[in-house]
Amino acid sequence: MTVTLRSLEIAVPPTVLVQTEARDVFAAQPGLTRLGQRLVTTCFNSAAIDTRRTALAELSLSYRTENAKFFDAESGNMLSPSTKTRNDIFAAEATKLFIESARKAVDACEGIAPEDITHVITVSCTGFFNPGPDYKVVRALGLNPSVQRFHLGFMGCYAAFPAMRAAKSFCDADPDAVVLVVSAELCSLHVRTSNDPDTIMGSSLFADGAAAAVITARDLPGNAPGIQLDHFETILTPVGEESMAWNIGDEGFEMVLGTYVPHIIDDHIVGALEPLLAHDPGLAGQAYRDIEHWAIHPGGRSILDKVEAKLDLTEEQLVPARETLRNWGNMSSATVMFVLKHIMDQPFRGGNERICSMAFGPGLTVETGLFTRVGGPVTPAATDGAAEGTAAEGTVAEGTAAEQDPANPAVPAPAGV
């Protein structure tokens, strides 16, 4: 019996953040030191991001309101709303993305209707409310009220993997199960101005978005593209517990992004892949680049650079991750799903194309998955929906991370999470 991801759809809020405009806004904030200004410029310029999305319409330079909470467009100043204010917006705006992406995924899955869904797994680390997003999805899509519901909260950027692994376990236990996995993150809610390098890095990188997938072992009609979920593994690196963290503060959630994170990944990525690839003896002794597709969570440019160099991958194999980062930014747990959609939408050459996927998060945790791309007409002109990003006029932005800028050793250059 094989368990397959049968449909994968995304949803993003309408407000576009243009990276260069966001950089200028953050660099002009009162209270920044000269070093802080240099850090802002370096982090934003080095993030390899063009545009991101936010659920906060007031972050647009063209938006005007008499009750600004995050950004006063008249003065150009960033504001500091409370954690409650941010979380209230999460409850309203994240719900929209959870429902939109979930509905699109179910509608796109041939042979599956809302009444077929047996399990719902929702994922987010950027807010909390109850009845939660799992409940909201069931009600909005008219699912059976007895559907089994689960929410994975506050795990971080790797959380899509535990969600997919749980979905596979449900389907392995019940061949008739149909699991709806939905991840939505509003990282921009926690943006703030600061001289702290971790805060600046987060402001240059993080964004908002959602992704939903239908996962089942059922035989379905048609020949739509899918991803067979073969194996998952989890590794905790022996160092790095203090290098990446996600804490709750009085003025939003606070990201800790140690500048050494890319080096930790560089040191331990081969060891993290060993237990995963051991599941398939046919991969033993092969070069990593012989695996057709690599779906890497684009935590930041430096992480992708480290992965590409350490595993000797081709530039083409990192295109799905780099294009996701460039057009959408880092949307925490939803991001790797965008990368997988990019791969699913590519022309299908036939046969069984393998996918090796991984994401990194607090701990330092490395989640990995070995998949097989199946189905779909051979070599069609695919629509690269996940890689299309449109730049809008006049917007503010957020986030990335850091190594060293060779032009100025005092200024870290973005690394990522």
Question: Residue 96 is inside which H or E element, if any?
Answer: helix 83-108
Region(s) of the chain under CATH 3.40.47.10: 4-216, 227-387
From start to end of 12-134, where are the E strands?
A: 15-18, 51-54, 71-72, 77-78, 119-124
pLDDT recorded at residue 352: 81
pTM, rounded to two decimals: 0.90
pLDDT recorded at residue 62: 85
Say which of 109, 125, 157, 171 is annotated catalytic. 157
pLDDT recorded at residue 260: 67
pLDDT recorded at residue 348: 81
Q: Is-cis flag, bond preceding 131, omega within 30?
A: yes
CA distance 10 to 105: 8
Residues 44 and 204 sit within 8 Å (Cβ to Cβ): yes
Residue linked to tokens 């797994």: 121
Structure tokens at 183: 């991840």
- Sign of the four-CA dihedral 55, 60, 62, 65: positive
pLDDT recorded at residue 118: 98
pLDDT recorded at residue 379: 62
Architecture of domain 227-387: 3-Layer(aba) Sandwich (3.40)
pLDDT recorded at residue 394: 38
pLDDT recorded at residue 262: 84
pLDDT recorded at residue 399: 35
Task: Specify whether 157 is catalytic.
Answer: yes
- What's the CATH fold of domain 4-216? Peroxisomal Thiolase; Chain A, domain 1 (3.40.47)
Which residues of the chain carry a pLDDT beneath 70?
Answer: 258-260, 377-417
pLDDT recorded at residue 95: 98
